[in-house]
Structure 1
């Protein structure tokens, strides 16, 4: 059980109130202020900058997904999308930490991103489809072969018809310049079989250098007395990013054909003016070979032949002298 303490009114400015499911929690500031400009917090400051950049980019690019947001009212989409952008920022190998951007990261990580966290597109729509994009003409296509909705679509309650939706976005995450195109089919009954293939075409500017994202989704409706009604307010609709086409890298071509004759002339002129001097190799004295090297004899250690106490004086032997007798 929590403990009740008396609090003077003049100390209320030091108390923070936090609403929870079980009431309000109060905490007081008991630690010193942190100096975030210190060198030991460099990594934290860099992470804060990148986190703020991801959130700001997601907020500005959100207008490109306006049609999708109206179709799928998921409140967690913005948070999940900004989290995905933060992971893309961390994959930027060009800039240093703290200066990394979404534009320089790997945007292909957004493939199969689900706009509805409660209804995944690949779980609801199981039919095959193909996505294609031609950057030269700017045309995007989504082709779906004929299928039977009762076996290829997970039908929610009270739904009688469905629509297939396609969206194409061209986005520059650095300038937050975005352009979106939206198209959908007519309502098809869920209890019938489609005999013809479905083709959804979207037109973007030709030679667009931005990143292109193509999304495909399904919308469920209920037909009642000739009118259409959304099923559960659109919470059963699903959409996913099916194709990601990264921007085209700009390459500059330098023409060096005009400079080649001048370079050749300069080299020929330099050869005429500069005298070629052949360097004289230094004299190298040959090292003595094994035949010319003196043979070094190892001295016998003294412990092998210990010194003797014999005197080195010459021994003189006395011989008797023979004296002749007269």
Structure 2
């Protein structure tokens, strides 16, 4: 695999070269020499098939998570979210010590303490991690999903981008079954706060508990705005927004 430089940017296949665009720019690679039919049927490629099956399961688990909290992910994500989630889900899948090789999956891996720990603290926008934006302790009620930030002083405890005049807080309480993809989510109301020295305790509580009895996820979203003539405008399409998984609990 090589990166393509120059003014001519093309996509497609030419002779034995494949040109394509990725998150890292325009790339070029040589065309593979092993046929798909042989990989699917030749006993020599059994490990390849097993790895491919588990790769697909991990990719699907990442998609399940993105879909479960889609409205929030749309507001706070980075360009490599899918690949980062795939890497994380593959790590969780490896914690499945029950399934046969080729059948290991995230649904089993997330049952372990290590699997839950791996997902806990995940930032959907690596450019704006929670620990680099919110400098205040908080508490989480895993029964109600309420997030409480005591005595928050926005101007001193929130790292805000230039031009921001306000920010908002919103929490989500998710129940996600990684084996079926079935999910349920409840959200809190949006709390909009001015970036000033006003000190107040902020509590954001989802409107009830979600249905289901699978993996419970608790998320916090922080969005930034600029107020102009009484209207609050999102900053730079969410590039500075935070979305973090605060806690993971197997119900």
- TM bracket, shorter-chain basis: 0.7 to 0.9
Of 175, 188, 191, which residue of structure 2 is paired with 1:183?
188
Question: 2:129 corresponds to which residue?
Answer: 120
In the alignment, is residue 160 of structure 1 matched against residue 165 of structure 2? Answer: yes
4+ long deviations beyond 6 Å: 20-24
Larger relative strand fraction: 2
CA contact (8 A) 1:116 1:239 kept: yes
Structure 1 residues 23 and 192: alpha-carbon distance in aligned structure 2, compared to 1, 3 A threshold: closer
- Segments of 5+ residues of structure 1 without an aligned counterpart are 1-11, 248-326
In the alignment, is residue 174 of structure 1 matched against residue 183 of structure 2? Answer: no
TM-score, scaled to structure 1:
0.64
CA contact (8 A) 1:140 1:201 kept: yes
CA contact (8 A) 2:188 2:204 kept: yes
Of 240, 243, 250, which residue of structure 2 is paired with 1:246?
250
TM-score, scaled to structure 2:
0.81
Could you say which structure has the greater relative contact order, defined with CA pairs below 8 angstroms and 6 or more residues apart? 2
- Segments of 5+ residues of structure 2 without an aligned counterpart are 1-12
In the alignment, is residue 96 of structure 1 matched against residue 88 of structure 2? Answer: no
State the secondary structure of the residue aligned to 1:180: strand
CA distance in 2, matches of 1:116, 1:104: 26
Shift of 1:32: 6.2
Shift of 1:155: 1.6
Residues 40-119 of structure 1 mapped to structure 2, 5 A cutoff: 40-106=44-110, 107-108=115-116, 109-119=118-128
CA distance in 1, matches of 2:29, 2:88: 34
State the secondary structure of the residue aligned to 2:126: coil
Which entry has the higher C-alpha Rg, 1 or 2?
1
In the alignment, is residue 151 of structure 1 matched against residue 160 of structure 2? Answer: no
CA contact (8 A) 1:213 1:241 kept: yes
State the secondary structure of the residue aligned to 1:140: coil
CA contact (8 A) 1:121 1:217 kept: no
Q: Alpha-carbon deviations, 1:230-267, whole Å to 9, x = none?
A: 111211111210010113xxxxxxxxxxxxxxxxxxxx
CA contact (8 A) 1:163 1:184 kept: no
